[in-house]
Amino acid sequence: MARILVTGGAGYIGAHVCRALAARGDLPVSFDNLSGGHAHAVQWGPLVRGDIRSPAQLDDAFREFEPEAVMHCAASIEINEGQKHPFPFWENNVGGAINLTGAMVRAGVKPIVFSSSCAVYGEPDRVPIRESEPRTPVSVYGQTKLAVEMLLADLALSDDIRFAALRYFNAAGASPDAEIGEEHEPETHLIPNALKAAAGIGPARLEVFGSDYDTHDGTCLRDYVHVVDLAAAHLAALDRVMAGSSGLCCNLGTGRGATVLEVLQAVERVTGSPVPYDIQPRRAGDAAVLLADTELARTELGFVPEASSIDQIIADAWRFHARKWGA
């Protein structure tokens, strides 16, 4: 049994990573300040209420639990918030990563798997996006993810740490037993908001931003990957860094994707309810198409996104939300 410190373990992806770690016999120790996560999502190991902006709290956690490796999922994630208030984003995402890696070095813990993002690519010229494409983020959020990748790469050069950075595309879905799922507040992601609209919860009509993109139905196309598949990839990446490898920066997506309207149609199929929506003007910074090239994940991590069909993603998300909402 390996003890793994999971920052952001009370959050959406972190909780699924903890669930997957425990399922194979590892002990996940969640380190989370509950700013965006939920204590009820921490079910597979202890919860340390701590803040990655505090070196002392991180040192205490390393001393108490003696983890062998770190999964770093904690971050500020709300893109618009980062545009309005960049400093707290840099402080949390980059300052937090500096504190975390500092605590790792002091504790002599080298392996780390980092939650990066396709936001490091900005608005790419070519899709599907290969890892070798230029990294030109168009948001503060994307800049902070890129900065942490650079920090990890530098620290790996001096063998202070060993890392894998996983560039998720759009995480979606929920655990198949409907125990944990996406619970962001505010929720900005399309699928939970479309499910809300179908269930008649929240704003009566969904806003669809732009219908004149260069896609087959004019709405943006995104690469949705089931959170259970993401969690499986974390285990593979963890095994890799724990075995001594370092430096992998890898997309996690399916390479297929769905447009906004296709997602809404899938929500209607799964829930049996219409999703009322209004077309709004385009939003600044929304690329028409974001699709992962998945070759590196397949060859280096054996990544096969088995649960990531759009209907399965939405069916699992719906079971979780319907249970939560009593719908």
Ligand X SMILES: NC(=O)c1ccc[n+]([C@@H]2O[C@H](COP(=O)([O-])OP(=O)(O)OC[C@H]3O[C@@H](n4cnc5c(N)ncnc54)[C@H](O)[C@@H]3O)[C@@H](O)[C@H]2O)c1
112 vs 155: CA distance, rounded Å: 11
In eight-state DSSP terms, residue 70 is E
Residue 224's contacts (CB-CB under 8 Å, 6 or more residues apart) are 169, 170, 172, 173, 191, 254, 257, 258, 263, 308, 310, 313
Cβ(28)–Cβ(13) below 8 Å: no
Reply yes or no on whether 277 is catalytic.
Answer: no
With binding defined as CB under 6 A, does residue 82 bind ligand X? no
The minimum distance between CB 170 and ligand X, in angstroms, equals: 5
Give me the catalytic one of 12, 141, 168, 213.
Answer: 141
Q: Binding ligand X by CB under 6 A: which of 4, 5, 6, 14? A: 14
With binding defined as CB under 6 A, does residue 34 bind ligand X? yes
Stretch that binds ligand X, among 34-42, 130-138, 289-297, 310-318 (CB under 6 A): 34-42
> Closest CB to ligand X among 1 and 35?
35
Query: Which residue type does 237 have?
Result: A
Q: Six-digit token pair at 303?
A: 């990544």
> Closest CB to ligand X among 189 and 274?
189
120 vs 167: CA distance, rounded Å: 8
With binding defined as CB under 6 A, does residue 230 bind ligand X? no
> What is the total residue count of the chain?
327
Q: Six-digit token pair at 263?
A: 């997602």
Residue 137's contacts (CB-CB under 8 Å, 6 or more residues apart) are 119, 120, 121, 122, 143, 145, 146
Stretch that binds ligand X, among 9-17, 18-26, 237-245, 261-269 (CB under 6 A): 9-17
- Which positions from 161 through 220 interact with ligand X, judged by CB under 6 A? 168, 170-171, 184
64 vs 53: CA distance, rounded Å: 18
Taking CB under 6 A as the rule, which mask of x and - marks residues 97-136 in contact with ligand X? ------------------x-x-------------------
> Closest CB to ligand X among 184 and 323?
184
With binding defined as CB under 6 A, does residue 152 bind ligand X? no
Cβ(132)–Cβ(91) below 8 Å: no
**Residue 64 burial by Cβ neighbours in a 10 Å radius (0-12, 13-18, 19+):** exposed
With binding defined as CB under 6 A, does residue 139 bind ligand X? no
> Closest CB to ligand X among 37 and 257?
37
Tell me which residues are annotated as active site: 141
Chain residues binding ligand X by CB under 6 A are 7-8, 10-14, 32-37, 51-53, 73-75, 77, 92, 96, 115, 117, 168, 170-171, 184
